[in-house]
A and B are shown apart, each in its own frame.
Chain A
Amino acid sequence: MNFDLCEEQEMLQSTVRQFAATECPLPRAREIFDAKDGHDPELWRGLCDLGLGGIQIEEAYGGAGLELLDLALVGEVLGESAFPGPFFGHALAALAIGLGGSEEQKRRWLPDLASGSAIGTIAFAEGDQMWQPEQWGLEASEGGTRIEGHKCFVPHAGTADIVVVGLAGGGMSVVERDCAALDIKESAALDRTRRVAEVEFTGAPAHPLPEGVAASGRVRDAGLVLLAADAMGAAWRCVELSVEYANRREQFGTTIGHFQALKHQLADMAIEVEPARGLYWYAAHAFDHVPDESARFAAMAKAHLTDRAMQVARDAVEAHGGIGFTWEGDLHLYFKRAMFDRAFLGSPEFHRARAAELGGW
């Protein structure tokens, strides 16, 4: 029995941490945050050169053949680095094709996704908090090969080459971006490290994934775990940034970290977050090893961790005082990251209700 990361997993995290610190320190993340499309091709290239574009893609298709836990561990570090770019939607698109695609489809798309030469994304949301496979209403015609209709909150749609689209009945189809039957309208995304867009499919040629109906719930679950992991990383970084600030900022002739009111607030933030790390680990582990508990713990991890992260991000702004309230400071990146993690794929409250249902309550 070992409820802990192995050495390789710890190395994976430190490699990504090192890469993010060198290639995308917070000043760079802020530039990309403010840039027009929020995507830095060179940064993406670097990430994929580390093999992170296809961690969970089978080795036969050029990936590393690892598990969701490994993917989530990377996601946590990207969260703590407020790392901008299409990693999240890309990972889910690759998972969808890996779980739901035919042999031919996997050979067609996965190697490019694994190398990062193609970017993937998912088009799940339909507005009014309709995120889940059982809520999807977009119909595909001509035997599922042509899509006409609308999706929203599609991550980095503007840079994606391959879009996995959720369809009525819970199935999924792949649309290739260069089919020219997509009308993409950037939304005014709050978290500008992960842009979202509305996508109008205008008779786009689609490739239905034969196992799409069986796979879509799993892809959603994986998405919930990745959001929980991102929230964990972002939240813990909020604690660290606040501690650093408290040890630096002077008022009343001393660093404000001397004041017990602030110390206790910082301790409470840490207490909210750190013990929950194992919750996302277990949810990720269950995805590959404990099928009975996978959906329930994915929902629970998403609900718990994104709620905690949101609160801690708010507390961090408060702990920073005025500078935390500015656009120039670093903190708002994490605050908005937490907002994304909280809302994307459905609210914590929604997933708590699912966790209760799945628990047989």
Chain B
Amino acid sequence: MDLRYDDDHERFRTEVQTFLSAHWPPPDRGDDTDRKAQERAFRLKAIEAGYLARSIPRRYGGSEQPADVLEAAIIREEFAKAWAPGDVAGLGPSLLVPTLLEKGAEWQKQRFVQPTIMGDIMWCQGYSEPNAGSDLANVQTRARLMGDEWVINGQKIWTSVAWLADYMFCLCRTEPEASKHAGISYLLIDMKQPGVDVRRLKAINGASHFCEVFLDDVRTPADWIVGERGQGWDVSRATLKHERNMIGGATQTLTYWDRLMRLAERTQKDGRRALDDPRVRDRLAVIEGYVRAQEFSAYRQLSKAAKGEKAGIVQSMNKINGTNTGHLIVKLALDLLGDEGLLEPEAFDPVTSPDVNTAWVARYMQTLGAAIAGGTSNIQRSVIAERGLGLPRDRERDQSRQARRPSQERRS
């Protein structure tokens, strides 16, 4: 165990710092009005230098760097310190791009990867449906090949920021006679066409981040399919794998933890800082045990990844671990708020908005979403039990994998 970065990595850090001091903030930023254009120009330079889009081949607009998780960590740290834009966030870059690179046709990579990682086009994810949540393979949205087009009818739900999306990557049933999992295809759909109706849902915390998307005779070309017909389930697994990793990082937990400590310092309780109250201190110390465990667990996995090894069962625990710790944090925060918990928070982004007390009311609700999105906590438990601990799969689920009978098709 050696927690120092070696000389090569320290040299690399200096290079990144030098690059950043030359390019961010942009030296010729003028009146600072077109921030988006500045970020775009900076990202192109950073890709050229090998600091962003590192896993993307050069021919698709990336910088094609050898996988080095420690270099990646240094880049993240230094970019964060300089408040420089990192890789474009969102479901397109984080979920669709790796899927296209793994399973997509050459023309799809050529056409979609670069504009997606540059933020020029935005994607939404058409997976969940009213009757396909945890049982995602139960998707009923129907796509029929008619001539050289797919014609799609159905409804998607919990679609994040669908009103902003240019395209959707979508699971549709294309082979209704095939068994449940073998009847699905992975299609790409243009969202800006007649028949696509996006309705924003209002969530428990007042935010309208999720949407319903109704698809009514929506069309997409025959070759806008990723993988073969009926392979959509396997293609989507490649995507979900990336989603679990994305949600599992310790970064958000550490941010919440720092803010909780600040809240305990500034909150008065019985004429002294809440932090000085023995009961509050004990609860904080309990939480810190979980926070640090999660932090070291992330280091452990990073170190394994750096050697090209797998970290084992702990990898499957990242998501639920973050969810559970997040719940402990917001519960204590709400107790510290007291009466302020009676008031609805202002419109607010739980991660980026300023650290005001009412933000905790929003976070208290926001963290509930973490136990649901990207595979509920109960689904996580089943995955850990079955794939991690080697317990048998649920019998009911095994049964539903059998071929669908026509009578079932009619009922649904």
Contacts and interface: CB of A to CB of B under 8 A. Distances in A.
Contact of B321 (A6, A271, A303, A304): A271
B252 interface: no
A353 B9 CA distance: 38
Given A264-B378, A266-B391, A353-B278, A2 B385 contact: no
Interface string B375-387: 0001011101110
B385 A263 contact: yes
A123 to B, nearest CB: 29
Contact of B282 (A264, A289, A304, A353): A353
Contact of A355 (B1, B285, B304): B285
A257 B393 CA distance: 9
Give the interface size class of chain B: 35 or more
B303 A2 contact: yes
Given A260-B394, A274-B313, A266 B321 contact: no
Given A263-B381, A361-B275, A239 B389 contact: yes
Nearest to B294: A275
The secondary structure that dominates the A interface is: helix
A137 to B, nearest CB: 25
Interface in A242-260: 243, 246-247, 254-255, 257-258, 260
A213 interface: no
B398 to A, nearest CB: 10
A3 B3 contact: yes
B292 A300 contact: yes
B367 interface: no
Nearest to A5: B1
B281 to A, nearest CB: 5
A289 B3 contact: yes
B2 interface: yes
B293 A276 contact: yes
Interface string B285-323: 110111011101101101110110000011001001100
Interface in A272-318: 274-279, 281-282, 285, 289-290, 297, 300, 303-304, 307
Contacts of A304: 286, 289-290, 292-293
Contact of A267 (B288, B303, B381): B381
B83 interface: no
A329 to B, nearest CB: 20
Contacts of A69: 1
B389 A243 contact: yes
B289 A267 contact: no
A99 B102 CA distance: 56
A40 interface: no
Contacts of B19: none
B207 to A, nearest CB: 28
26 contacts: A1-B3, A1-B73, A2-B2, A3-B300, A4-B1, A239-B389, A243-B391, A255-B392, A257-B391, A264-B381, A267-B382, A267-B385, A270-B313, A270-B317, A271-B381, A274-B313, A275-B321, A279-B292, A279-B293, A281-B1, A285-B3, A300-B285, A304-B293, A352-B282, A353-B278, A353-B281
Question: Shortest 4 CB-CB distances between A and B: which pairs?
Answer: A278-B296, A304-B289, A352-B285, A3-B299
Given A267-B382, A281-B300, A356-B284, 14 more contacts: A2-B3, A3-B299, A3-B300, A4-B300, A4-B304, A243-B391, A247-B391, A258-B391, A263-B381, A267-B381, A271-B321, A275-B321, A300-B288, A356-B281
Interface of B: 1-6, 9, 70, 73, 261, 275, 278, 281-282, 284-286, 288-290, 292-294, 296-297, 299-300, 302-304, 306-307, 313-314, 317, 320-321, 324, 378, 380-382, 384-386, 388-392, 394-395
